[in-house]
Structure 1
Amino acid sequence: MIVDLPRGGSVLQRVTLGARVSARLRVAALDRALAGGAVPESDVALTLHARRLISPTARRQLARTLRGIVESARRPSQPPARWPGAQVARAGAELLALAERLERPEAVDARGVARVRVLLGDGGGPLHVNRDAHGLVRAAREVVAALEPEAGQGDSRHGP
């Protein structure tokens, strides 16, 4: 696998069993790194994780999760259930647009897919905290934009 060096250039690096295991065990940390803008090709574990994120299967699963959250928000909740909050129902169109973009066959940027995962998993974020919907609408729109591959980037940003 080719790994980009921090000061420029690239090096061919073997993908070891240890690197594969590390990539599987550090999923949340790798999501956060990619969502924060880390270049997938800068590390073997990041590259392996990025390739999994852009797979059609992973993208469909995230889209199903988003659709399920929106559907749950539209149904009356039964106590003591509180989530998803009203902000999810109000941001439903943007969340569904995000799900739709994930399901399209066009290439996506792995960093954008990582941002979807962080949005879903951040218990203190706009999806989980029942605040006004503007923050969630903005976050969903930003993630849709982040899914668009940047011109001239490496192959770990491309879909099927």
Structure 2
Amino acid sequence: MKTLIKTIAIITTAAALNANASISVEDTNETSFDIGGEILPECKVNSTASNGATGLDLASTTAQDVASVEIWCNTGQSTANTTYSSANGGVLKNDTHSGKDIAYLLDIADTSTGLSLTSDQEVSQSAGSDVEGASVAKTVSIRPQVNGFEYEGSYSDTITITVSYN
């Protein structure tokens, strides 16, 4: 009796395994299935600050290089929408004398000059678009708007750059 029960259990298990993997007469020697995915459009920005970014000559109104901004997009377009914004509304805040700030203008090499960051500024900026990730770099410069009678103290601002595809 014990042997009969073991035999029935083995036959039942084998039948269950074969039921899940059975081949029918209509099956062929070939099959196929679709594969795929999606890469969403995006742009990337890299900013490499130069030595003068935190050591501006505030006695001069000449353009002073502060950063090299590199942009790459995966859309194949040669430009990207780039927004420049200022934490202080386009002025260098004086940390000693409240309200005695220095306005400045922003220049982007071969793109735009004399941008006031009192409000966000959107520019169409060159972008790399190859599959190796090569970017296009543009030098960003600051022109302090000084007259020689500014208050003493340390002055600062933060510029934020946001990039998106066209």
Q: Which has the larger radius of gyration?
A: 2
TM-score (normalised: structure 1) = 0.24
TM-score (normalised: structure 2) = 0.24
